[in-house]
Structure 1
Amino acid sequence: MVFTLLLASVALVLVAAALALWSGASAREQRQVSLQHAEQRLARGGPGGALPEPGTAPTGRARARGERPWDALLRRAALPTGWRVPLLVVGMSLLATWIATARLGTWWMVPIMLVLCTLVVWFWLSRRIANLQRRLLRQLPDFLDNLVRLAGLGNSLQMAFQTATAQVPMPLRGLLDTTLSHTRSGLDLDRALAQASQPYRLEPLNVLAVVLGVSVRIGGRADQILQRMADFMRDLDQAQQELMATTSETRMSAWVLGLLPPICAVLMAIASPDFFQPVIHEPLGHKLLLGALVLEAAGGFLLYRLAKSI
């Protein structure tokens, strides 16, 4: 029965990872298709200055040399890249797992603690990513207004971009500085922006890269488009704030209801191991524990769908 519990715990980890990948795959695919469609239309309509084919430099999908697989996730969460943060998270998770296993004296606490640590880290990273994206989107309209003002004074788009970058605070300043460093290495402005903004996965930055590419290669009144983008982003941000204020209680309740039962059960088991000994050693306790895991997985999935549907 213990082996069955181990398999059930491993299955919960795999289900959580599959849900994370499934929730972001459709949005990423839709953004990629829309950008490729826009590039193809511009390439067919441009006078000799066609944009590159989809899948080349503007998509920025080629991983930088020496970049680790988790560096993009760490940058998206406003964390330092490298080995320090992953090792710290893994070390704390293993320490908590060892304490729980030593306290209860059974190895089936290992997969359960790993599942809980994975959910806690996922929740922590998702909150940091959402906060960083919100800060970037709130700073972007002011940057676009300054860019439009400098371009209206007669500056070229590249010079206006460089001058406006110097007046932007963090965290948007770091992204724009990375864009300028890419332009100094030989990339066009739109390609540099697309490559620098790829880890953040923000649709307005991808649209801004397309607008800059059209202005540089084809020409036109890019300042009017940028001004409309800034106004639209302000209206969208205000609407999103009102929606978040309305649905924040439901979303937070889903997180609390999903994480509270397993966390409380583990804390109670660590605080009073003798109370949980029948659950660990008796066949009926194994059945109750397996049923609790199945119900928790089903309830977590339903709460996840409820929070995503808002």
Structure 2
Amino acid sequence: MSQIPSEFILAFLGMVFTAMFLLSQGLVIPVFGEASKVRKRIRGRLNLLERASNLPNMQSILRQKYLRRLSPLEARLEQLPVMESLAQMIEQSGHEYRAYRVLLLGVVLGSAVGLLLWVLLQIWWVALPVAMAVFWLPVLKISRDRSKRFAEFEEGLPDALDAVCRALRAGHPFNETLQLVADEHKGPVAHEFGLTFSDINYGNDVRRAMLGLLERMPSMTVMMLVTTVLIHRETGGNLTEVLERLSSLIRGRFRFQRKVRTLSAEGRMSGWILVSMPFVLAAAIVFSSPTYLPLLFQEPLGQKLVIGAFIAMLIGIFWIRKIIRIQV
């Protein structure tokens, strides 16, 4: 009975892992949170506002203060390319890691795993992709934590706005309502509102403090809140009534997103079935007819067919994602 070479077994398992990982990342429609394109557009608008106000970017000021607290070596490492974006991602995720340590951890893990696979298998085209995948694991963990924190913030934002409205009716100024929310609530909402209050309390104006909140939490709901507060400070009006309507609007938006997620459940399940079916059938063939499948991996033409099928599967994953991923 012919045996399947071990390198092709590892390659097959790598294909399974890659397909399942991309599927889990690509077919998740968030109930809360915004797409990366929306966050980039919000950051672009923030830069325009900063330039129009002839004021330095708040994120850049905080970045400079942060670098001055580090040792010379750490400051040089933190000033490497992409470090600023990674540091901002770490801050938004709620962690206090230093950016260069996260990348250093990825380099150490990736090098160790890649070297181990190279020593065991002596196959560079298996060790190198696995090492690169392991290198990005710390960054992916931080990115997932950031998305989770964004979701928790937006989930608690309507209740925080209701608390702000009650405090405004009781006669508290807007600045103190932020502190009340920070004291009475928990999680990212309390933390971010507390930072905004401290920003105002330490001498910044409300405009810069609210724009700082939007920089830390770049989402459409926060942008609506910041726009509402800034317009009220410039034109006046009943802020309590506007915030109540905004809270109702955000809740309605979340209800609609949940409905979209429910309606797209069939498409997401179809994606899981279509992607997992080739691997399940391959495993069934190996167990039922052990001499049937090894020929596909041993022949050069069969190897090319497997690689071509995997590439087509990746295209299909992204295509399914494009079909069912509806951003609201």
TM-score by length of 2: 0.64
Distance verdict in 2 for CA 1:112–1:202, change over 3 Å? same
SS at 1:81's partner residue?
coil
* CA deviation profile, 1:138-166 (whole Å, cap 9, x unmatched): 11111111111111122221122222322
Structure 1 residue 74 corresponds to structure 2 residue 74:
no
**Distance in 1 of aligned mates of 2:190 and 2:258:** 23
Deviation (angstroms), 1:242: 3.0
Partner residue of 1:112 out of 108, 129, 133: 129
Deviation (angstroms), 1:88: 3.1
Task: Name the amino acid aligned to 2:38.
Answer: A
Instruction: Tell me if structure 2 keeps the 8 A contact 1:197–1:205.
Output: yes
Deviation (angstroms), 1:259: 9.4
Instruction: Tell me if structure 2 keeps the 8 A contact 1:183–1:192.
Output: yes
Q: In structure 2, what is the equivalent of residue 180 of structure 1?
A: 197
Q: In structure 1, what is the equivalent of residue 242 of structure 2?
A: 225
Instruction: Tell me if structure 2 keeps the 8 A contact 1:148–1:223.
Output: yes
Gaps of 5+ in 1: 1-11, 40-51, 266-274
Partner residue of 1:27 out of 38, 44, 52: 38
**Distance in 2 of aligned mates of 1:141 and 1:127:** 23
Instruction: Tell me if structure 2 keeps the 8 A contact 1:144–1:230.
Output: yes
Coordinate RMSD, CA, aligned = 4.3
Deviation (angstroms), 1:296: 4.5
Deviation (angstroms), 1:292: 5.0
Structure 1 residue 143 corresponds to structure 2 residue 152:
no
Distance verdict in 2 for CA 1:143–1:154, change over 3 Å? same
Q: In structure 2, what is the equivalent of residue 62 of structure 1?
A: 60
Deviation (angstroms), 1:240: 1.8
Instruction: Tell me if structure 1 keeps the 8 A contact 2:102–2:139.
Output: no
**Distance in 1 of aligned mates of 2:160 and 2:115:** 49
Deviation (angstroms), 1:24: 5.8
TM-score by length of 1: 0.67
**Distance in 2 of aligned mates of 1:148 and 1:286:** 65
Q: In structure 2, what is the equivalent of residue 164 of structure 1?
A: 181
Deviation (angstroms), 1:169: 0.6
Distance verdict in 2 for CA 1:165–1:242, change over 3 Å? same
Deviation (angstroms), 1:92: 2.8
Q: In structure 2, what is the equivalent of residue 294 of structure 1?
A: 311
Deviation (angstroms), 1:283: 5.7
Instruction: Tell me if structure 2 keeps the 8 A contact 1:144–1:227.
Output: yes
Task: Name the amino acid aligned to 1:62.
Answer: S
SS at 1:201's partner residue?
coil
* CA deviation profile, 1:184-239 (whole Å, cap 9, x unmatched): 33222232132133133211112212222223333211111101011111122222
SS at 1:166's partner residue?
helix
Task: Name the amino acid aligned to 1:191.
Answer: R
**Distance in 2 of aligned mates of 1:304 and 1:110:** 29
Q: In structure 1, what is the equivalent of residue 216 of structure 2?
A: 199
**Distance in 2 of aligned mates of 1:302 and 1:233:** 30
**Distance in 1 of aligned mates of 2:206 and 2:235:** 14
SS at 2:184's partner residue?
coil
* CA deviation profile, 1:120-152 (whole Å, cap 9, x unmatched): 667655543332222111111111111111111
Q: Percent identity?
A: 20
Distance verdict in 2 for CA 1:230–1:119, change over 3 Å? same
Instruction: Tell me if structure 2 keeps the 8 A contact 1:191–1:209.
Output: no
Distance verdict in 2 for CA 1:81–1:291, change over 3 Å? same
**Distance in 2 of aligned mates of 1:122 and 1:285:** 36
How many residue pairs end up in the alignment? 269
Higher relative contact order (CA 8 A, sep 6+): 2
Instruction: Tell me if structure 1 keeps the 8 A contact 2:58–2:212.
Output: yes
Deviation (angstroms), 1:80: 3.1
